[in-house]
Amino acid sequence: MTAKSGAAQGGKDIRVVLIEWDDAVAGAGWIADHNGQRPDRCISIGAVVAEDAQSVTLAGTWGLDCDGSLQSNNRMTIPRGMIVKQRLLKLRRTR
């Protein structure tokens, strides 16, 4: 059986995306070189459980509760200003 992300599952529209984004870099301690560091490039994959003009929230684990409501865990909110690329993924389920 094949399921595309975006397909309704239990009446819920679940989109699974790959987001490439630049993470902030922090440091501590005394330094003499103040040239800064480059942001770390990250890749996150998950179900979009919330989004607005400022951010996208992905869940790494998700499913439908017994009453059909979407449940999620392992969520991450990424500010849109840090997103470099976003791609909708197609999922294949095997039994």
What is the domain partition of the chain in residue ranges?
Answer: 2-92
25 vs 16: which has the higher pLDDT: 16
- At residue 53's C-alpha, the angle toward residues 73 and 14, to 5°, is 40
**Nearest to 90, CA basis, from 16, 12, 13, 1:** 16
Tell me the residue ranges of DSSP E strands in 24-81: 40-51, 55-64, 70-79
Q: Could you read off the pLDDT of 19-77 as tens digits, one per residue?
A: 999 998 888 888 887 777 788 999 999 999 999 999 999 999 998 889 988 899 999 99
What is the rounded CA–CA span in Å between residue 20 and residue 29? 29
